[in-house]
A and B are shown apart, each in its own frame.
Chain A
Amino acid sequence: MDFKDLIFSLFASSVLFIRRSIFLVIAPYKTMRKVARDEDSIQPVLIMGLILVYFFFASSLRSHVYHPIILFEVTLINLALTILFFAILRLVFLSEKKVNLRPFLILFTYTLIPTLIWFLVNSFLFRLLPPPRTFSLLGRGFSLIYLSFSIAILFWKIIITYLAIRYSTTFTFFRIIYSSLLYLLIVIPYSVLLYSFGLFRIPFL
């Protein structure tokens, strides 16, 4: 692949990524179905690139104990472990000999978009209206709007993650619920561990 082709494929993947990110809001079911059939490896790289940019941006707003590169590496490890966890579950439950990790990679990278949006908005709000929140009328009003926004993003994240598990593992509803509970059983102590090391207050998952 020469330089011209590389630029064209990068541009095409960027357009596709922006389009899919918008359609994840409008039609998450259809969009994740399309993402599941995708073979483009540039889109996950673009999402991870944005996350890296975000970590540098966040460190400019607030001094973290660790360098943004280290936080990014931890996020990469989180993603890899999540993919591995669900891939192993698929191998075990469906008694398959091997599994194609590409759909897992693309789908689970797309699940990081709501997380990225929440962290980005949170960072902007931290700059715009720094905490602590007050008990005044405006303070309470802002708290309610902020909480509603956070809950809405959480619901969106749950839907997209559910679809990512569904399309990557082909599990049915109950099996997705069981495997998600098992995943949470591991993730909660892991998040506490990350918190105790001062890496993340809220894990970037």
Chain B
Amino acid sequence: MSRPKLYPQRVIDEFENIFLLAPNNLHSQRLNRYYKYLTKPLKSMPFYLIIPLSVSIAMLAYALLGRLIIHLVTLLQHGF
């Protein structure tokens, strides 16, 4: 006689997914906390963070390097 299923297959699959890997351990409570804090926004919809960050970096690079950025873009455009 087969045993009755306690949980639906979807729940079992989700748990298997979650426990596919052991959580990251950075060997320090504080580092683990920072790691979780920093990676949380990257797990879903990372572009909400990536786009403003990329624009800021590009602006900062332009402010620091000036015309060199224009040459860099020309170089990158030839990159394919």
Name A residues whose Cβ lies closer than 8 Å to a Cβ of B. 25-30, 33-34, 36-37, 58, 62, 119, 122-123, 125-126, 130-135, 139-140, 142-144, 146-152, 155-156, 159, 166-167, 170, 172-174, 201-202
Could you list 22 examples of A-B contacts with CB < 8 Å? A27-B43, A29-B44, A33-B20, A37-B20, A126-B77, A131-B77, A133-B71, A133-B73, A140-B62, A144-B55, A144-B58, A144-B69, A146-B76, A147-B69, A148-B57, A151-B58, A152-B54, A155-B46, A155-B50, A167-B20, A173-B26, A201-B78
Q: How far is the CB of A54 from chain B (nearest CB, A)?
A: 9
Interface of B, secondary structure class, is helix
Neighbouring A residues of B76 by C-beta, 8 Å:
122, 146, 150, 202
CB-based contact A151/B21 at 8 Å: no
A122 to B45, CA, bound (A): 24
In chain B between 23 and 71, which residues have their CB closer than 8 angstroms to a CB of chain A? 24-26, 35, 42-47, 50-51, 53-55, 57-59, 61-62, 67, 69-71
Neighbouring B residues of A134 by C-beta, 8 Å:
70
A143 to B25, CA, bound (A): 41
Neighbouring A residues of B58 by C-beta, 8 Å:
144, 147-148, 151
Q: Which of A132, A146, A151, A166 contacts B57 (CB 8 A)?
A: A151
With A126-B80, A151-B57 as contacts: A173 and B24 at CB distance below 8 Å: yes
CB-based contact B78/A151 at 8 Å: no
Q: Which of B17, B47, B57 contacts A37 (CB 8 A)?
A: B17
Size category of the B interface is 35 or more
